[in-house]
Amino acid sequence: MPHAKIQVAAAEDGSLSYAVPVAPEALPAVTPTALLAAWDAARDRAHAGQWGPTRTMLFRRPDGSATVLSIADRDARSWAEAVDRRAGLETLPGLALCLRLLALVEVMGRSAWMAGLFAVTTDGVELHPSLLRAAAALPLDAGARFDAEELRGLLSRTLPGPPEAGPRVLA
């Protein structure tokens, strides 16, 4: 799989289409460092109002069927463009980095239980190292998203538990 080739075609309107020879679930893991650097680059690009083109990806599944994913939202296009410039979306590692970044943003928005694992400030984002490691390694699902409950289970094994309660004194 590391040598699988992604074919990219540009349309007259500037949109890009990607023929990806593997399913989203088969995309490789990335490093937490690369994921955090991609987050920072994407945030800077979006903050500057630099939007990229719409991107449509056709993922081939092992059974011959396909999954189609479109990155059409303005902010998501900007983030995808930042990752493309940094890592190249025509490569499986670059595409994996982009989709993991977008999946992380998406799961953070829909999973209230994650609130203590990140903080968004005017200076950027602070991500708990365990969340970053999990997002870098956890496989994407068929829709190129993270399974929130699988992520929660993985994090529950890596986060420290509550501090031990000291002795209680009853009055």
Question: What confidence tens digit (pLDDT) does each residue in 78-89 have?
Answer: 999 999 999 999
Q: Is the pLDDT of residue 47 over 60?
A: yes
- Half-sphere CA count of 55, side-chain side, radius 13 A: 26
Tell me how far apart the alpha carbons of residues 36 and 33 are, in angstroms, rounded to a whole number: 5
* Higher local confidence (pLDDT), 153 or 22: 22
* pLDDT for the residue numbered 167: 42
pLDDT tier for residue 161 given thresholds of 50, 70 and 90:
very low
Structure tokens given for 136: 């870098």
Which helix (H) or strand (E) covers residue 103, if one does?
helix 92-110
- Nearest CA to 76 out of 104, 48, 51, 40 is that of 51
- Half-sphere CA count of 41, side-chain side, radius 13 A: 18
**Averaged over 52-63, what is the pLDDT?**
96
Decide: helix, strand or coil at residue 79.
helix
Structure tokens given for 81: 């463009």
Considering the entire predicted model, what is its pTM?
Answer: 0.86
